[in-house]
Amino acid sequence: MARIVVLGAGVSGHTAATFAKHWLGDKHEVVVVSPNSKWNWIPSNIWVGVGQMTPEDVTFELAPVYAKAGIDFKQAKAVSIHPEGKEGSDKPFVTIEYTDPNKQGQTEEVEYDYLINATGPKLNFAATPGLGPDEGNSLSVCTYLHAAEANTHLQNAIEKMKKGERQKFLIGTGHGMCTCQGAAFEYIFNIEHELNKAGVRDKADIKWISNEQFLGDFGVAGVHLKWGGHIVSSKVMMESLFTEKGVDWITGAHVKEVQKGKLHYELLDGTEGEEEFDFAMLIPPFSGVGLKAYDKAGNDITDKVFAPNGFMKVDADYTQKPFEEWKASDWPKIYQNPDYNNMYAVGIAFAPPHPISKPAKSVNGTPITPAPPRTGMPSAIIGKTVAKNIVEMIEGQSDKPRHTASMAEMGAACVASTGKGLLDGSAVALTVYPVVPDYDKYPGTGRDPEYTFGEIGLAAHWIKHILHHMFMWKAQLKPGWTLIPE
């Protein structure tokens, strides 16, 4: 009997674990290690952050779902990986520390035949002094609890505005190396929508601040959207949309410090500025969760297994290259660690070879470049592909991974909400192909214009809402879950 251990139960890890178990049945073991007791459909946290959904709407308890599926669930955080085993045993294992209230603090060694690292990111608020809810200066929507807290502050702000007080909202990224600009984009327009509904929009100043080189970059070098009857870059559409909605913006900004009601930033040209605010939701940069790795003798091999940013090295080309030399082939295909071929990393946990957006540094040398997103549809596809490869190897159908899921070869669909409402909601629905531009195959923008497009409208909002229910259904392994695409 083989054992697959999956570290993390986010979109990617949950997909990998559930499909692996579905395909393997009871002949083999699947273990999931996650510090959280609940699964969270993160894209809908935006709606929690504006009070349109509750944390209960976007989460469910993992334990009963895994029990039903026959997956061994350990509510614990992974501490270290020992890919060569230890003295007296060649069996690789991970050390975990329980967060389950009944076993809080207890540690355990969990042996594995195959390891899937799907830990997701550490929300690295500490990268910017004063950033984040713990510091009390800015808010986040990265977790459902953060989003619920953001909503409390939003409702307070609305109350103040109803009493005639003016409020300034600052939404965006809290560091020069952040990703997830799309989530911040969704949040700023959901706030704008809610303020309109509450009849206080005229009392609000709303401003966007981000590390994108241009508005609409979204960390993927921009997307193509329908506007004015034809396709334009998201840059053109976003500028029109922001202007139409009366939302001002700052781009090319590295937030240096956040204080109570004020933040300081540096721009690409090295100039500095500050912005005051009453309400700030700033996405933090991501880093690896801090997993350590040790060899058989107990020597620290963390640097060998993980990239400096803490994400696990996989079959990518990590050679430092200038933008003009970036290739689609730099991106991993099978997500296998180059040194230990029974270790894989999926979703945000794998180390990308370089950004997707054109890199930039300020004249002072500060990197101001969006980090590449590895969330949503691509992360689920990667998780499922890795699970398929492992299952085939366990079942003897193959001696090496056969299926690939390079982000430079896959397309992705994304629906970004710009306001929730059955009749007055709206969202941007878009597809990109490939996710990582392939400048050799598609000279110019690096993307296939036949399959890269999007549109804003009410129908997209309905799709977003339907997708929420579909993915919650799927993740709970309810009837027909395997038929629902990633």
Q: Where do contacts with other proteins occur on this chain (CB under 8 A)?
A: 213-214, 221-222, 224-233, 235-236, 239-240, 243-244, 250-252, 267-269, 323-324, 358, 360-361, 363, 431, 439, 443-446, 449-451, 453-455
CA 283 vs. chain centroid, Å, equals: 11
For other proteins, the closer of residues 267 and 405 by Cβ is: 267
Q: Scan for tokens 């590895």, then name that residue.
A: 374
What is the Cα–Cα distance from 357 to 449, expressed in whole angstroms? 18
CB of 25 to other proteins, least distance (A): 30
Look at the block and give the residue holding tokens 């957006």. 357
Type of residue at 127: A
Nearer to other proteins, 137 or 234 (CB): 234
Closest approach of other proteins to the CB of residue 182, in Å: 18
Minimum distance, C-beta of residue 72 to other proteins, in the bound complex (Å) = 37
Least separation in angstroms between CB 203 and other proteins: 19
Question: Does residue 45 sit in helix, strand or coil?
Answer: helix
Task: Find, among 67, 46, 63, the residue nearest to 55 by Cα.
Answer: 46
Name the token pair of 7.
């570290």
CB of 430 to other proteins, least distance (A): 9
Distance CA 14, CA 379 (A): 10
CB-wise, 312 or 412, nearer to other proteins?
412
Q: Which residue, 308 or 443, has its beta carbon nearer to other proteins?
A: 443
- Which residue, 44 or 251, is less far from other proteins as judged by CB? 251
Q: Which residues pair with 262 in a beta bridge?
A: 259, 276
Is 110 or 381 the residue whose CB approaches other proteins more closely?
381
- Whether 199 and 308 have beta carbons less than 8 Å apart is answered as no
**Is 248 or 339 the residue whose CB approaches other proteins more closely?**
248
3-class SS of residue 324: helix
Q: Is the dihedral of CA 65, 66, 67, 68 positive or negative?
A: positive
Which lies closer to other proteins via its Cβ, residue 153 or residue 226? 226
Phi, psi of 323 (to 5 degrees): -50, -40
Work out how close the CB of 439 gets to other proteins at its nearest, in angstroms, rounded to a whole number.
Answer: 6
SS3 content of the chain, % helix, strand, coil (to 5): 30, 25, 45
CA distance 462 to 269: 41
Which C-beta is closer to other proteins: that of 105 or that of 479? 479
Least Cβ distance, residue 433 to other proteins (angstroms): 8
Q: Which residue has the tokens 């609940």?
A: 38
Buried b (16+ CB within 10 A) or exposed e, 176-194: bbbbbbbbbbbbbbbbbbb
Minimum CB separation of residue 215 from other proteins in Å reads 8
- Closest distance of CB 268 from other proteins, Å: 5
Q: Six-digit token pair at 458?
A: 């009410």
